[in-house]
Structure 1
Amino acid sequence: MIDELNNPVWSALITGNRTLATGGQHAKAFHAGISPFVAVEQNSREHYQLLTQVATGEGPVAVFTTDKDLDPSPWEISSRIDGYQMMFEGETPQSPSGLSISKLTEEHVPAMLELTRISPPGPFMEGTIRFGGYEGIFDGQQLVAMAGHRFHSGHHVEISAVCTHPDYTGRGYARALIQNQIIQIRASGNVPYLHVRSDNVRAYQIYQNMGFVTRTEMIIYILKK
C-alpha cells in the first residue's frame, strides 16, 4: 500500500528493516550505530512519550513526517529539514556501461565514512551499511562515489547515501549508481523511492529527469530530549 510511505521509517521498522529495529508496539528506533532515525505509529503525545523509553541515548534523533506543525512533546524540535518524497515511475534503465561499479562490504566502511565526511549525504554511521545494497566507484583505492538502500518500507525501497567526491562530480557517477539501484530494487519486485531536500534544486531536477515523480512533501524533524 502506498499509504505506508506517509510514515516511511515506521513502515520500514515494522517490515523490511524489522531485524534492525528496537522498541515496542507504538515507538521504535534503529539499533545504536545504524541510524539516528526513529518513528512512532502516530504523532501523539502518548507515542512520543513512549519514544523517550526507546531512544535512550543522549544525542538527537530524527523523524520523517508529513506533519507541518508537529508537536512531539515531551521532545523539543531543534531543527527541521523540508523536502520531497519522490517515487520512480520511469522505465527501468539499462545497466550502466563503461563504469566499474563495486559492491561495498564491511571492509569498505572506513572509505565510506571518509567519503560521507567530505560529501555528506545525510546521517551515515559505522553500522549504516547493514541496510544493504551499497555500491561504489573507485579511483584506485579511493572511493569517489556511492549509493545504497536505506528504508525498506513494505514494498518500497529507498535509495539513499548518494554522494560523490567534489573532485569527481560531473562524470555521471551518481546517475549510474542510482540507475543500478533502480534495476536491483525493481528486480526484487519492489518500488524505488527517495527523499531530497527542497533546497537541493539541482538534485531534484536530476531525479525528475531520471523518472522520479514527487509524491508528497516530507519533513525531517531533529528532536532532542
Structure 2
Amino acid sequence: MSIILDNPIWNALTTGSKIHAEGNDCVRFMQRDKGQFVGFRTYRDEEWQDLEEWFSVGDPIILFTPGDVAIPSTWKVMFQRPISQMVFDGKVLPEALDSPRAVPLTEANVPEMISLTRLTNPGPFFSKTIELGRYEGIFQDGRLAAMSGQRLNPSPFVEVSAVCTHPDFLGKGFGAELIRNQIQYILEEGKTPFLHVYPDNYGAIRLYERMGFKLRREMRVYFLEKA
C-alpha cells in the first residue's frame, strides 16, 4: 500500500484531497489559492500538454517524484533537490502534555500564518491553504510562535505540514507538541501520518524520529515555472 506514496500528489488529488483539485483523468493540480502542487498519472508527453492549457507564462508548480523525470522545454526548472519522505511507524504515540498550549487556527489567523511561513520557509502557504487540513498554533505574548497542519491526503495517508517555529521561540518544545497533536488527529481518523523534509534539515529529522517517524525513501522535489 505504501507505493501510494511514490506518487503522493497525484494520489492525494484523486482521493483524499480531490475537493481541492482541478484537472482531468491524467493530470491534476491543486487550486491555486491553496497550493502549487501538480500530480501526473504517468508523466507522459500528453499529460504535460494538457497541463500547459491551464497555466500562463511564469506560473509556478511543484512536483514530488520518486526520481528524476524529464521536464519539457516549455517548463523552466527553477529548483530541484532530494527530499526525504518519512512515515509514522505506528508503534508509540508520544505522551500529551499536562498543560497543552496549542489552539485551533482560523481564517482570522491567516495573515499571521503567512508571515510565519515566509519567515521560516516550511513550504509555500497561501490564503486558502488553511482549508487543506487541521491547523493549530501556539501563541506567546500575543504572537503566533509556532504552527502545524495537514496538507496532502493520499488516502489512507495524511501529510503533516507547515511545521514551523518563530526563531524567537525556539527550544520550548512547541514543534513536538504540535506534531504529536497532528499524529493523534490522523490516527483517530484511521489513517497514517507522513511528511517530507529536506535531508540536510538535521534538527527537524531528529525531532521527527523522536516523534516516531521513519525514513521511507528519498524523493525529489521540483519547482518549475512555465517558460
Q: Which band: TM-score by shorter chain?
A: over 0.9
Cα deviation, residue 99, structure 1: 3.1
Cα distance in 1 for residues equivalent to 2:63 and 2:55: 12
Deviations 1:111-152 (A, max 9, x none): 111111221211111111010200000013211000000001
Q: Distance in 2 between matches of 1:97 and 1:24?
A: 48
Q: Residues 43-54 of structure 1 correspond to what in structure 2 (within 5 A)?
A: 43-54=43-54
Q: Distance in 1 between matches of 2:136 and 2:225?
A: 33
Structure 2: distance between partners of 1:16 and 1:54: 22
Superposed displacement of residue 78, structure 1 = 2.1
Q: Is the 8 A contact 1:135 1:146 kept in 2?
A: yes
CA RMSD of aligned residues (A): 1.4
For the residues of structure 1 that align with 2:30 and 2:103, how far apart are their CA atoms? 27
Bigger Cα displacement from structure 2, 182-191 vs 74-83: 74-83
Q: Is the 8 A contact 1:96 1:179 kept in 2?
A: no
Give the counterpart letter for 1:79 in structure 2: F
1:131 corresponds to: 132
Q: 1:144 maps to what in 2?
A: 145
> Following superposition of structure 1 onto structure 2, how do residues 194-213 of structure 1 map, counting pairs within 5 Å?
194-213=195-214
Matches within 5 A, 1:106-125: 106-125=107-126
Deviates more, 1:117-126 or 1:175-184: 117-126
- Partner letter of residue 46 of structure 1? E
* SS of match in other structure, 2:53: helix
TM-score by length of 1: 0.95
Question: Structure 1 stretches (4+) deviating beyond 3 angstroms?
Answer: 54-58
Q: TM-score, structure 2 length as denominator?
A: 0.94
Q: Structure 2: how far apart are the matches of 1:33 and 1:119?
A: 20
Structure 1 CA distance for aligned equivalents of residues 53 and 199 of structure 2: 32
Matched, 1:222 2:218: no
Q: Which runs of 5+ in 1 are unaligned?
A: none
Q: Matched residues, percent identical?
A: 38
Q: Distance in 2 between matches of 1:151 and 1:97?
A: 30
Spell out, residue by residue over 1:15-47, the C-alpha distance to the aligned partner (whole angstroms, 9 max, x if none): 111111000111111112110111111122221
Q: Report deviation, 1:205.
A: 1.9
User: Matched residues in 2 for 1:224 and 1:115: separation?
Assistant: 25
Q: Does 1:28 align with 2:34?
A: no
Query: How many aligned positions are there?
Result: 224
Q: Which residue of 1 aligns with 2:9?
A: 9
Check the 8 A contact 2:82/2:198 in 1, yes or no: yes
Do the aligned partners of 1:22 and 1:54 also contact (CA within 8 Å) in 2?
A: no
